[in-house]
Amino acid sequence: MRYIVKYIMFWKKKKDLVEKLLDRDLEYKERSQAALDISNRPEIKYFEPLVEAMENDPEPAVRMNAAFALGELRMKDGKKPLMKAIKEDGSEWVRGHAASSLTKLSIDFNDVEDLLIEMLDKDRDAGARRHYAHSLGMIGSDKKSGLILMSILQNDLDPGVRADAAEALGILGYQESYEVITNASKNDIDGDVRRQAMVAKRKLDLER
């Protein structure tokens, strides 16, 4: 009997998470927390509710956490809705977290890389561009992403974006960026950019 009660409570809790996630009468903080709770116990059955929340919830915090949770599910089917969120969502944090979640999927990244490069040029919000830059370091190719990240490191007006571009170049191991990274490590006006460039330079030194 005790095990039956535990089983019922276990499944009730799962059901409650979906109900909380999609119940617009609840405070947005509760819906947002439901998405985070799902990310801690990712299962296929949560995929459709998470997509629904990410695409249609009126609160950016809920959509952001739903995008994060979709990454934790690691489902290939998450590629299309996450790419859609990057293109269409009005919140920089949703777009950014959608980009980060895409890097966790076992998918072909060619079109993802192209989209992130495009959005680095089009998106005016620094919070989103930081995610794009870091994501390119995770999934990008030398020839395409390396050149773009070098340009971002040299020219972006936001120091956070430049710092993430430096970090991404180190992760990518793009040796052609060595001179640019070295220059940034010495001369960028922002201390965090200089530190990230120095870390990237050390990574490239190890691979030379």
Q: Which domains does the chain have, with CATH numbers?
A: 1-107 (1.25.10.10)
CA angle, residues 119, 176, 156, in degrees to nearest 5: 35
Residues 6+ away with beta carbon under 8 Å from 49: 18, 21, 22, 38
Q: How many CA atoms lie within 13 A of 143 on its CB side?
A: 1
Joined tokens for residue 134:
């870091």
Q: Higher pLDDT residue, 9 or 81?
A: 81
Measured CA to CA, the distance from residue 106 to residue 104 in angstroms comes to: 7
Give per-residue pLDDT as tens, 41-76.
999 999 999 999 999 999 999 999 999 999 999 999
pLDDT band at 9 (very low <50, low <70, confident <90, very high): low
Report the half-sphere exposure of 173 (CA within 13 A, side-chain side).
6
Q: Exposed e or buried b for every residue in 132-146, given b needs 16+ CB within 10 A?
A: bbbbbbbbbeeeebb
pLDDT digits (tens, 9 = 90+) for 136-188: 999 998 889 999 999 999 999 999 999 999 999 999 999 999 999 999 999 99
Contacts of 92 (CB under 8 A, 6+ apart): 123, 125, 126, 127, 128
Q: Is 173 left (phi over 0), alpha (psi -120 to 50) or beta?
A: left
